[in-house]
A and B are shown apart, each in its own frame.
Chain A
Amino acid sequence: MTTAPKPQRHSGPGHSAEGSDRSAYAFLAPYLVLYCVFMLAPVLWAFGLSLQTGGLLEGTSYIGLANYSEVWSNPFFNNALRNTALYAIIAVPAAMGLSLATALLVHPLARWWKSFIRVSLFLPLISSAVALAIIWRALLLPGQTGPLNWILGNFGLPPQNWLGHPDWVIPAIAAFQVWSGYGFWVIVLLAGLDAVPTQLYEAARVDGAGRWQLFTRITMPMLRPTLLFLSVMGVIWNLQLFDAVFMLTQGGPANASVSVVYYIYRGAFHFDQLGHSATMSVLLFLLVMGLTLLQMRYGRRDEDA
């Protein structure tokens, strides 16, 4: 008997716009299924695997927390951990210094120039690390006549076996990381500099502040959240270093460039030590989680201030 059109359908009781709403589950279902199968289950399974020893071929057996007590005395794991720490310790401050200098250098310049710089620094960000590593592998060829060595030789610097010498391989891969991620840092810092209100500078200048004071009292404090974000992201990014190691050195020479993720990959898929590798991945997870929580906490504190 109702001939009124559609509106009736949703105006009944119990269907206020913000009432508890079962249709929500229909909207959530596809994502939650994927999340449970490919995120939640793998995380729980990784914890489970870390309590086991063995692999796919020989089968796994429960050994409790033995993996966790064993890793600290395992020289190969300690080596991977040390290498990864070195990658981050070299790459993050280098990227930070270089990108901060670039951003400060470019920021007052003409808009078209800034766009040009942005675009030219952006190329590595959209390229796969594999393609970039193929270029670098050729650039870093050893001997006096390797392309980079030849260029350095013109400045009187001695040739190095960049990827073949244990002392040089970590700085070389860290330099690759800096080069391929540097554009992101600059672009984010330029956006951060744009966000500093110009009134602050004007007011300070009226009060007689010099250029150095403007930098230390206004620019740096205003950039602090951006710098914190970038350094935490940079550390997390470098902790997960894999592509460059796989492409440039396969972990060599003599494990000198093995990163934690490369170690996990090789342990699980070449040596079939699933439990051992899963233990590493759990430890890496705890590290990344700690850093993320730190970042969230301090990021939020800045917003309150």
Chain B
Amino acid sequence: MGRLPYLRMLRYLLSGVLAVASLSPFVFMLLISFEHHRVITGNPLHWIPTAPTLTTYTDVLTLSGFGDWLFNSTFVAVVATLAVLLIQSMAAYAFARKRFFGREVLFYLVLAGLMVPGSMTLIPQFLIAGKFGLLNSYAGLILPTLAGPLGVFLLRQYMLGIPQSLLDAARIDGCREFGVYWRIVLPLSLPAMGTLAIITFTAHWREFLWPLLVATDDSMKTLPVGLASLSSQFNTDYGAQMAGALLSLLPVVVVFLWLQRYFIAGLTAGAMKE
């Protein structure tokens, strides 16, 4: 496109300013995190720490249950993601490729679950978790989150596109029903599975309200819940709070920078029509 070069420069400049503005709270967090009881008010504001230290980080790691929370968050997100992939892909396979009595009714019943906000199921789920003795347990943190129908829906759409001839060929070659699913349908659905994995993992890593209710023991908290209690433990110590926040962001940011293309494709997948 024939554009005046200065207009193009202006585009770079303006979008650069927006990106910096969006990133600046993170920079603020980083700078503040290197000093205990950092005085963050002042005129003029001293952004650069005068006596940088890492004791804020070591204190957060040793004086709180941070290690437990990090483990719990990782464990819950990984196990829940694997379970969602397995259980929901099995259901999606049945809905996409099998004919059985009640298929339409069941599918629409599951689909209707997409319209249910988490806050509606919150109170009953809590009562059910209590009845089954799931409070302060990994099962309580994970099981209720596996019922969301998004994955079944996404995977079914994808599996509808797998050519029937491949499934027939597998059956002729002697695959049992589970073999057709495990050896043919699953490997062919890997792109959709990857998308679902990223959506599920990110959602679990960020989830706050459900773990806040279920994990009340300090040792069972996930990172967001732990972080919320950390900020009252280090009440006025903004340095330590920022160190905790930064530590909690680090693992998923590393994974994101490593797999960013898939993250971006994954989070736009639900939004764009094929």
Q: Which residues of A contact B (CB under 8 A)?
A: 5-7, 9-11, 17-28, 30-32, 34-35, 37-43, 45-46, 49, 102, 105-106, 108-109, 113, 116-132, 134-139, 141, 143-147, 150-151, 153, 179, 182-184, 187-188, 191-192, 195, 225-226, 229-230, 233, 236, 239-240, 242-243, 246-247, 260-261, 264-265, 268-269, 274, 277-278, 281-282, 284-285, 288-289, 292-293, 299, 303
Contact yes or no, A38 B227, CB < 8 A: no
Say how far A273's CB is from chain B's closest CB, in angstroms.
10
Contact yes or no, A120 B23, CB < 8 A: yes
Nearest 5 CB-CB pairings of A with B: A6-B174, A42-B124, A31-B91, A145-B41, A45-B124
Contact yes or no, A27 B98, CB < 8 A: yes
Number of A-B contacts (CB under 8 A): 312
Contact yes or no, B256 A281, CB < 8 A: no
Contact yes or no, B90 A31, CB < 8 A: yes
In the complex, whether B231 has a CB less than 8 A from a CB of chain A is yes
Instruction: Name B206's contact: one of A128, A274, A281 (CB within 8 Å).
Output: A128
CA distance in complex: A260, B106 (Å): 31
Contact yes or no, B144 A23, CB < 8 A: no
Q: Could you pull out 6 A-B pairs where Cβ atoms are within 8 angstroms? A: A34-B147, A128-B205, A130-B225, A150-B41, A151-B45, A188-B268
CA distance in complex: A38, B116 (Å): 12
A108-B11, A119-B260, A130-B208 given; A278·B123 CB < 8 A: yes
With a cutoff of 8 Å between Cβ atoms, the chain B residues found around residue A184 in the complex are 267
Q: Which secondary structure characterizes the binding site on chain A? A: helix
Contact yes or no, B264 A122, CB < 8 A: yes
Say how far A251's CB is from chain B's closest CB, in angstroms.
14
Contact yes or no, A129 B206, CB < 8 A: yes
With a cutoff of 8 Å between Cβ atoms, the chain B residues found around residue A19 in the complex are 99
Q: How many chain B residues have a CB neighbour from A under 8 Å? A: 104
In the complex, whether B252 has a CB less than 8 A from a CB of chain A is yes
Of residues 251 through 274 on chain B, the ones whose CB sits less than 8 Å from some CB of chain A are 252-253, 256-257, 260, 263-264, 267-268, 271-273
Which stretch (B51-59, B188-196, B238-246) binds chain A?
Answer: B238-246
Instruction: Name A22's contact: one of B14, B100, B168, B272 (CB within 8 Å).
Output: B100
Contact yes or no, A242 B1, CB < 8 A: no
* A274 (CB) vs chain B CBs: closest residue: B123
Instruction: Name A108's contact: one of B1, B101, B114 (CB within 8 Å).
Output: B1
Contact yes or no, A21 B264, CB < 8 A: no
* B248 (CB) vs chain A CBs: closest residue: A131
Contact yes or no, B120 A46, CB < 8 A: yes
A28-B106, A41-B124, A289-B115 given; A127·B252 CB < 8 A: yes
With a cutoff of 8 Å between Cβ atoms, the chain B residues found around residue A131 in the complex are 224, 227, 245-246, 248-249
Contact yes or no, B128 A128, CB < 8 A: no
Instruction: Name A21's contact: one of B99, B173, B209, B273 (CB within 8 Å).
Output: B99
Contact yes or no, B125 A113, CB < 8 A: no
CA distance in complex: A253, B248 (Å): 29
Query: 1/0 contact trace for B148-180 toward A, CB 8 Å?
Result: 110010000000000010011001111011000
Instruction: Name A102's contact: one of B18, B120, B173 (CB within 8 Å).
Output: B18
CA distance in complex: A37, B113 (Å): 13
With a cutoff of 8 Å between Cβ atoms, the chain B residues found around residue A25 in the complex are 94, 100
Contact yes or no, B263 A109, CB < 8 A: no
Query: 1/0 contact trace for B1-17 toward A, CB 8 Å?
Result: 10100001001101100
Contact yes or no, B208 A281, CB < 8 A: no
In the complex, whether B44 has a CB less than 8 A from a CB of chain A is yes
A108-B1, A117-B15, A121-B19 given; A240·B260 CB < 8 A: no
Instruction: Name B41's contact: one of A37, A143, A183 (CB within 8 Å).
Output: A143
Say how far B148's CB is from chain A's closest CB, in angstroms.
8
With a cutoff of 8 Å between Cβ atoms, the chain A residues found around residue B93 in the complex are 27
Contact yes or no, A31 B87, CB < 8 A: yes
Instruction: Name B14's contact: one of A31, A40, A105, A299 (CB within 8 Å).
Output: A105
Instruction: Name A123's contact: one of B11, B164, B173, B253 (CB within 8 Å).
Output: B253
Contact yes or no, A7 B117, CB < 8 A: no
Of residues 121 through 149 on chain B, the ones whose CB sits less than 8 Å from some CB of chain A are 121-128, 143-144, 146-149
Contact yes or no, B40 A141, CB < 8 A: yes
